[in-house]
A and B are shown apart, each in its own frame.
Chain A
């Protein structure tokens, strides 16, 4: 049985988990087994309709204390849940919480793990998972050699896939261990789309000259419903907050569309964005290395091109 971890925040199922369900369901079909989910805590989403993404059964440990993530507690509960349900493959989203618990759960289950998988495993001869390595510069095909297997999937690599169907929901009773952390404050950046969950990212580099010029980036992001990001020197100079820094040493993103404005395309920057489906580069230097990694480009001055592009998109959406 394939058991998919369904991650929630503030009692809402994360988009990356819907993708994990889609992936887990496809994998279950490939293996000829059932696709089941494990949800910790309580959510406001309709659970039966998770069947739309291919989930057949959902196991829920609906203790309200599990509405707050705690790596040690979640590791223990997920390990017990995997044992109680006889899971043979566990699927996680390679998101913030997935990164924190999937390897620990694998260790507890004596299971091999591949994190950051890109596609369904090849099960024709063994169990081979493909993942990106060297920060997106290469792929590795890795065999998992244990009976139980754990995979976490890169966001936006598989997509959310809809079917017909309804999931049955079953309560699972597992003893909840004592909390190992105490959350004392939560700070959400209001009105912003989280970078790692965004479908579209608009990113600015040193070519924008200074923080006072970010209005044109934000305007474009707004009409596209996009998140904003930046290159490393931009966050190092405090033009933008650290969490917007993308690249090999910042956040790695893989949106459907990445628009790079006034960014030269250094190898370390590309390493954080090269898994984006479509890359658009706007740069006044036709020799900028980023054009080699781009799908579409405009050679031009960002201060002229961006307002025109924002207006054109607005018009096309009207």
Chain B
């Protein structure tokens, strides 16, 4: 059983978001980078759990990014995984990123490809679905539970107001969210082992971007909170009804 886990580097959740060069570039100054939490907590840890249950499982990690993505992929290797592949290109276009991963996936003949449900920077939730389109594979999105049974996976996925369980024959792609696994902290042994695990750098395939970011901006600041006295809830109800038209 061969697993491929997609790992993305994102700004830490507390990062101040700012832009430079006339609002055309994300300001990376003073930004702490982390593994995208959905990739780490859910997709990667799920893969590690699967390997713990069945040592015949191999886990490959893939990231699309330049050399500055290496600390992140090493950290992922410290949590678990056998080897990593970095595709040497930085792109904000989901299609370019997915095409790179698809090329690796085709070569590696993976049984299961895991992604996080989305990244916390661009929130596009595109990569899993695009991989499914590029590779013509079944895709189960927003999964919060999965058990393998030979060549099939039984996966729980979120639906509006509940969840559904479905069976899918491998190979397949699954995007992971909360419930799938529990966050883990890398231990010293893992960190030491990660230093010597193979990290292969491959050059990107040529694909044309389909989108381009023109500019960014910040949302307008709230005009300030209107405080209502705790013993005057009727006034809050009036404001919500008449001013905010909230119900």
Chain A contacts of B13 at CB under 8 A? 135, 248-249, 267-268, 271
Contact: B212 with A145, CB < 8 Å?
A: yes
A contact patch SS: mixed
Q: Is B58 an interface residue (CB 8 A)?
A: no
Residue of A105, A134, A242, A250 near B133 (CB, 8 A) is A105
Chain B contacts of A297 at CB under 8 A? 225-228
Q: Please tell me which stretch of B44-52, B74-82, B195-203, B213-221 contacts chain A, meaning at least 4 of its Cβ atoms lie within 8 angstroms of it.
A: B213-221
Contact: B134 with A107, CB < 8 Å?
A: yes
- Would you give the 0/1 interface string for B206-247, flagging 1 where the beta carbon is closer than 8 Å to chain A? 000111111111110010011111110110110111001011
Residue of A94, A277, A304, A312 near B230 (CB, 8 A) is A304
Q: Can you show 13 pairs from A to B with CB atoms below 8 A apart?
A: A71-B140, A103-B124, A107-B98, A115-B126, A134-B17, A141-B216, A142-B214, A180-B168, A280-B240, A291-B227, A298-B228, A309-B233, A309-B236
Q: Is A9 an interface residue (CB 8 A)?
A: yes
Contact: B141 with A104, CB < 8 Å?
A: no
A313 to B94, CA, bound (A): 46
Chain A contacts of B172 at CB under 8 A? 180
Q: Is B65 an interface residue (CB 8 A)?
A: no
New A-B contacts (7) at CB < 8 Å, excluding given A137-B218, A184-B166, A187-B164: A99-B118, A102-B129, A106-B133, A115-B126, A184-B165, A194-B162, A298-B228
Residue of B19, B141, B167, B179 near A184 (CB, 8 A) is B167
Residue of A96, A113, A136 near B126 (CB, 8 A) is A113
Q: Which of A104, A131, A141, A300 has the most CB of B within 10 A?
A: A104
Measured CB to CB, the nearest residue on chain A to B232 is A298
Residue of B212, B229, B236 near A142 (CB, 8 A) is B212
Q: Which of B142, B218, B222 has the most CB of A within 10 A?
A: B222
Chain A contacts of B129 at CB under 8 A? 71, 75, 99-104
Q: How far is the CB of A191 from chain B (nearest CB, A)?
A: 10
A187-B163, A194-B161, A278-B246 given as contacts; is B144 within 8 A of A242 (CB)?
Answer: yes
Chain A contacts of B121 at CB under 8 A? 133-134
- Would you give the 0/1 interface string for B34-78, flagging 1 where the beta carbon is closer than 8 Å to chain A? 000110010000000000000000000000000000000000000
Chain B contacts of A94 at CB under 8 A? 125
Chain B contacts of A182 at CB under 8 A? 166-168
Residue of A200, A268, A278 near B14 (CB, 8 A) is A268
Q: Is A162 an interface residue (CB 8 A)?
A: no
A139 to B163, CA, bound (A): 31
Q: Is B160 an interface residue (CB 8 A)?
A: yes
Q: Is A143 an interface residue (CB 8 A)?
A: yes
A312 to B231, CA, bound (A): 11
Measured CB to CB, the nearest residue on chain B to A245 is B178
Measured CB to CB, the nearest residue on chain B to A143 is B212
Contact: B219 with A274, CB < 8 Å?
A: yes
Chain A contacts of B161 at CB under 8 A? 188-189, 192-194, 197
Contact: A138 with B132, CB < 8 Å?
A: no
A95 to B161, CA, bound (A): 12
A96-B160, A113-B211 given as contacts; is B218 within 8 A of A138 (CB)?
Answer: yes
A200 to B139, CA, bound (A): 31
Q: Is A257 an interface residue (CB 8 A)?
A: yes
Q: Is B190 an interface residue (CB 8 A)?
A: no
Chain B contacts of A110 at CB under 8 A? 210
Q: Is A222 an interface residue (CB 8 A)?
A: no
Contact: A104 with B159, CB < 8 Å?
A: no
Contact: A278 with B244, CB < 8 Å?
A: yes
Measured CB to CB, the nearest residue on chain A to B246 is A257
Contact: A292 with B222, CB < 8 Å?
A: yes
Chain B contacts of A107 at CB under 8 A? 95, 98, 130, 133-134
Q: How far is the CB of A147 from chain B (nearest CB, A)?
A: 10
- Would you give the 0/1 interface string for B164-206, flagging 1 where the beta carbon is closer than 8 Å to chain A? 1111110010000011000000000000000000000000000
Contact: A141 with B126, CB < 8 Å?
A: no
A94 to B167, CA, bound (A): 24
Q: Is A83 an interface residue (CB 8 A)?
A: no
A200-B247, A292-B222 given as contacts; is B210 within 8 A of A146 (CB)?
Answer: yes
Chain B contacts of A115 at CB under 8 A? 123-126
A99-B142, A113-B94, A181-B140 given as contacts; is B247 within 8 A of A257 (CB)?
Answer: yes
Q: Is A318 an interface residue (CB 8 A)?
A: no
Q: How far is the CB of A17 from chain B (nearest CB, A)?
A: 11
Measured CB to CB, the nearest residue on chain A to B125 is A99
A178 to B247, CA, bound (A): 45
A103-B129, A184-B154, A184-B167 given as contacts; is B222 within 8 A of A293 (CB)?
Answer: yes
**3 cross-chain pairs, A with B, having the tightest CB-CB distances, nearest first:** A300-B230, A112-B210, A104-B133
Q: Is A316 an interface residue (CB 8 A)?
A: yes
For chain A, residues 241 to 262, give those with C-beta under 8 angstroms from any C-beta of chain B.
242-243, 245, 248-250, 252, 256-257
A12 to B217, CA, bound (A): 38
A136 to B120, CA, bound (A): 10
Chain B contacts of A71 at CB under 8 A? 129, 132, 138-141
Contact: A296 with B240, CB < 8 Å?
A: yes
- Would you give the 0/1 interface string for A171-210, flagging 1 where the beta carbon is closer than 8 Å to chain B? 0000000001111111111001110110110000000000
